[in-house]
Amino acid sequence: MEIKRGPENPYVNVEEITIQEGKVLIGGMQHDLQGGANLPHAIAIEAHAWLQTPGRSAYYLTWEGSKIPRGAVVGGKKVQSASNKIIVADAWGDDIIGKYSRVQRAEVENSQKQEMVVLAPAPGEEIERH
């Protein structure tokens, strides 16, 4: 697969994380909160807890290449930058999309696979910077 380098990476796969009947769904597929499937247990639990507040959303991003999924559209906003657990849609860091966690996997030699979960706030809700 060709990896596009530069200001945008159209190869970022963005799937919404939802809850249905108490189960976490990623792109419509069920994830077992006991571990296994797509997300590590702690991140699945965090997404589940986050989504208990009405209006909040969560997304699972996968791609290869740069650590920043620049150009991906998350919650209707185009990613510009990500640092200090905050992902933003502008170069100044004022237009916050949400907070993120990187999915840590056992390293595969020379792999550039990246995974991230983005937790987006409800409209009008502030994200705390640390």
- For residues 34, 102, 75 and 18, what is the CA-based torsion angle, rounded to 10 degrees? 0
Tell me the mean pLDDT in the region 70-77.
Answer: 92
pLDDT in tens, 3-56: 344 445 558 999 898 888 777 777 667 665 554 455 677 788 888 899 999 999
Please check whether residue 76 is in contact with residue 63, taking contact to mean a CB–CB distance below 8 angstroms.
Answer: no
Can you tell me whether residue 47 is helix, strand or coil?
A: helix
Domain-located, residue 98: yes
Q: How confident is the model at residue 73 (pLDDT cuts 50, 70, 90)?
A: very high
pTM (predicted TM-score) = 0.82
Mean residue pLDDT of the chain comes to 81
Domain-located, residue 8: no
Reported residue count of the chain is 130
Residues 6+ apart with CB under 8 A from 105: 113, 115
Alpha-carbon span 44 to 76, nearest angstrom: 23
57 forms beta bridges with: 120
Looking at residue 4, its pLDDT comes to 40
Looking at residue 14, its pLDDT comes to 92
Task: Quote the domain boundaries for residue 54.
Answer: 13-120
What is the number of domains present in the chain?
1
Domain-located, residue 21: yes
